[in-house]
Chain A
Amino acid sequence: MEIVVCVKQVPDTTEVKIDPVTNTLIRQGVPSIVNPFDKNAVEAALQLKEKHGGKVTVISMGPPQAKDALKECLAMGADEALLISDRAFGGADTLATSYTIACAIKKLGNVDMIICGKQAIDGDTAQVGPEIAEHLDLAQVTCVSKIEVEGNSIKVEREHEEGYEIIETQTPVLLTVLKSINEPRFPTIKGTMKANRKEIPTWTAGDMDVNPDQLGLKGSPTQVRRIFTPQQRVQGEIIKADSAREAASKLASKLLEAKIV
């Protein structure tokens, strides 16, 4: 099975700092990591490879330093890595990003499964995975927490708040995975050494069959006006009482008072 995993390098912080003037992320000084969901995607791919054979290729679109993220995935056990990097890709929104990645996957050809993380922890849109599937006209299942493969058919569990759906489909397919799907393995020392020594090819716009108008800022219909940290939810109130019964009745009267019940 030929599996492509899309990984993004993200800043290692939940509280992303934003440049107030340009409204873009301040990346300087913030250590970069592999987007946590994408590590689950790599782990899922490695487990499938271990069970069914094949090859795992990790690809990332980003600046040259995104190679570090790819190296970490190689160290975990991925076979190949590919960086797509070009100034022309700069300022891409999810549409332009997914278009560019889809073009790279098209060029790779012969792919049975594409696995993405559910979302990137910096942008949090959860759009790039599904959009890649659309560009490539592939079936897709999002929020996957379990994958089973038999020949060409695959059975997955798609998790949502009330439970999960079991969905059967055929390869080729694109899946986005949740953290609950697995526990990503640590890279081994030997894997890290091998990854460090491996050449990671870089494809620019010129290396792929792309429509320049659909790349980067130019190909991005959405523009970021302002990014901000949403206001923290105010602390809940803790009801203190001597017994559970008393606490419950205090709670009930408060809820009535607030016209919630």
Chain B
Amino acid sequence: MQFQLTEEQKTMQKLVRDFAEKEVAPGAAERDEKEEFSREIADAMGEMGFAGICFPEKYGGADADVLSYILAVEELSRADAGVGITLSATVSLCAWPIFNFGTEEQKQKYLVPLTEGTKQGAFGLTEPNAGTDAASQQTVAVLDGDNYVINGSKIFITNAGEAEVYVVFAMTDKSKGVKGITAFILEKGMPGFTFGKKEHKMGIHSSMTNELIFQDVKVPKENMLGKEGQGFKIAMATLDGGRIGVAAQALGIAQAALEHAVKYSKERVQFGKSIAANQAIGFMLADMATKVDAARMLVYRAASFKDQGLPYSKEAAMAKMYASDIAMEVSTDAVQIFGGYGYSREYPVERLMRDAKITQIYEGTNQVQRMVISGSLLR
């Protein structure tokens, strides 16, 4: 067992870190304050090829591995967690299911622009009444000649409105329950496909979250992703991978919180010495650093299982659950170490604490992750 990134992974990490520190970090506080998505950054990431990292050259990718992509999400999230999930939603939730379940035509038409970064992607599964219970989809798709006609709505969709390509789930046969769900590829601009209100969130303000609304949206038959009735399986497989992205996002947040806490504790003087000189603070930092590293091992392991073609559903669930839980703990501790200043928007740690919370909720709440993990133990 080797606990070292390869030379190639290290160069990827450095490349993204340089970009994140120079182009992403400086505006993070302002985007948070203004609740502003940056198309400029999304496009710059596209141009640099971030969305293509783990896809074959034949589909516009760079032919590197999943771990390199995960390192990119971590580095971006260390600078701005909203930007990290912007990339992860395009890559893990939209490009990947098209790559894995799409036809050759769908890959050329929809995957290539995503990997080459000229388009952004999104994933529409959650509905007002179908959250954790994703199987109770109320959006319906009815076959009419050469088209499916889609009606319904989706809520809390990352990149909605900004993305050009959408992987959307709808019920094609209610009588079959879970086996009646089908996946489709939708394009922004299809008649009847609109966006609802922008969500005002606790954190990840630089990520766009919006509703999808479908009113008699005609989707050509050839835009069905996978087979009819295969939708739920596609959604679950996609989320297995997406969870590694969320785990990397959480890891990036935790890493940032740790770094800020170490630096501040050395600079802040109370009782005539740096607060870091108190063992109470030093021990907190020690616990934080250990948690961050443990999370890192789980996250990188899940990515490397995926790279090796091993089953990774349980590993991804463990990585997502643990990394998000410790991101919440570590960022809360960072606020504590900053004292009153940590509670102030003048310093970045309160943003990290607000950003961390979502990682325990989306792409399967941490209760769901525990269901996945215990399910695989008790099988």
- Could you tell me which A residues sit within 8 Å of B by CB distance? 71, 75, 186-190, 192-193, 196
Taking each of A186, A189, A190, which has the highest tally of chain B beta carbons within 10 Å of its own beta carbon? Answer: A189
Residues of B within 8 A of A193 (CB): 8, 62-64
Query: Across the two chains, which residue of chain A brings its CB closest to B8?
Result: A196
Bound Cα distance A188, B15 (Å): 8
Residues of A within 8 A of B53 (CB): 189
Query: Across the two chains, which residue of chain B brings its CB closest to A71?
Result: B11
Q: Which of B15, B22, B23, B47 contacts A192 (CB 8 A)?
A: B15
Query: Across the two chains, which residue of chain A brings its CB closest to B45?
Result: A189
Query: Across the two chains, which residue of chain A brings its CB closest to B69?
Result: A189
B19 lies within 8 A of chain A by Cβ: yes
| B7–A196 touching, CB < 8 Å | yes
Q: B2-61: which residues lie under 8 A (CB-CB) from chain A?
A: 7-8, 11-12, 15, 18-19, 22-23, 47-50, 52-53
Bound Cα distance A168, B23 (Å): 36
Cβ of B259 to closest chain A Cβ, rounded Å:
17
Q: Which of A71, A75, A187, A189 contacts B50 (CB 8 A)?
A: A189
Q: Which of B7, B11, B52 contacts A190 (CB 8 A)?
A: B52
Residues of B within 8 A of A196 (CB): 7-8, 11
Query: Across the two chains, which residue of chain B brings its CB closest to A193?
Result: B62
Total of A-B residue pairs, C-beta within 8 Å: 37
Q: In the complex, how many residues of chain B place their beta carbon closer than 8 angstroms to a beta carbon of chain A?
A: 18
Contacts A189-B52, A192-B12, A196-B8 aside, 5 further interface pairs with beta carbons under 8 A come to A186-B15, A189-B53, A190-B49, A193-B62, A196-B7
Bound Cα distance A190, B52 (Å): 8
| A186–B49 touching, CB < 8 Å | no
What are 17 of the A-B contact pairs (CB < 8 Å)?
A75-B11, A186-B15, A186-B18, A186-B22, A186-B48, A188-B47, A188-B49, A189-B12, A189-B52, A189-B62, A189-B64, A192-B12, A192-B15, A192-B62, A193-B62, A193-B64, A196-B7
| A192–B19 touching, CB < 8 Å | no
| A75–B15 touching, CB < 8 Å | yes
Residues of B within 8 A of A71 (CB): 11
Residues of A within 8 A of B23 (CB): 186
Residues of B within 8 A of A75 (CB): 11, 15
Bound Cα distance A71, B8 (Å): 11
Bound Cα distance A192, B14 (Å): 11
Residues of A within 8 A of B11 (CB): 71, 75, 192, 196
Query: Across the two chains, which residue of chain B brings its CB closest to A195?
Result: B11
Bound Cα distance A189, B64 (Å): 9
Q: In the complex where A196-B8, A196-B11 touch, is A188 in contact with B48 (Cβ < 8 A)?
A: yes
| B7–A187 touching, CB < 8 Å | no
Query: Across the two chains, which residue of chain B brings its CB closest to A186?
Result: B19
Cβ of A66 to closest chain B Cβ, rounded Å:
15
Cβ of A11 to closest chain B Cβ, rounded Å:
16
Bound Cα distance A236, B11 (Å): 42
Bound Cα distance A71, B7 (Å): 12
Residues of A within 8 A of B8 (CB): 193, 196
Bound Cα distance A75, B64 (Å): 15
Residues of B within 8 A of A186 (CB): 15, 18-19, 22-23, 48
Those 4 A-B pairs whose CB atoms lie nearest each other, nearest first:
A189-B49, A189-B62, A193-B62, A190-B62
Bound Cα distance A186, B23 (Å): 10
Residues of B within 8 A of A187 (CB): 15, 48
Cβ of B16 to closest chain A Cβ, rounded Å:
9
Cβ of B329 to closest chain A Cβ, rounded Å:
31
Taking each of B7, B15, B53, which has the highest tally of chain A beta carbons within 10 Å of its own beta carbon? Answer: B15
Bound Cα distance A192, B68 (Å): 12
| B7–A189 touching, CB < 8 Å | no
Cβ of B76 to closest chain A Cβ, rounded Å:
13
Residues of A within 8 A of B47 (CB): 188
Cβ of B357 to closest chain A Cβ, rounded Å:
31
Mask for B266-306, Cβ within 8 A of A = 1, else 0?
Answer: 00000000000000000000000000000000000000000
Q: B132-183: which residues lie under 8 A (CB-CB) from chain A?
A: none
Bound Cα distance A97, B217 (Å): 68
Bound Cα distance A193, B49 (Å): 11
Bound Cα distance A136, B19 (Å): 38
Cβ of A73 to closest chain B Cβ, rounded Å:
13
Residues of B within 8 A of A190 (CB): 49, 52, 62
Bound Cα distance A193, B8 (Å): 8
Bound Cα distance A71, B14 (Å): 13
Residues of B within 8 A of A192 (CB): 11-12, 15, 62
Bound Cα distance A192, B48 (Å): 10
Residues of A within 8 A of B7 (CB): 196
Bound Cα distance A190, B63 (Å): 8
Residues of B within 8 A of A188 (CB): 47-49
Bound Cα distance A133, B252 (Å): 48
Taking each of B8, B11, B22, B47, which has the highest tally of chain A beta carbons within 10 Å of its own beta carbon? Answer: B11
Taking each of B23, B52, B62, which has the highest tally of chain A beta carbons within 10 Å of its own beta carbon? Answer: B62
Cβ of B17 to closest chain A Cβ, rounded Å:
11
Residues of A within 8 A of B48 (CB): 186-189
Bound Cα distance A187, B13 (Å): 12
Q: B176-197: which residues lie under 8 A (CB-CB) from chain A?
A: none
Bound Cα distance A188, B7 (Å): 16
Residues of A within 8 A of B50 (CB): 189
Q: Which of B15, B18, B22 contacts A189 (CB 8 A)?
A: B15
Bound Cα distance A190, B64 (Å): 9
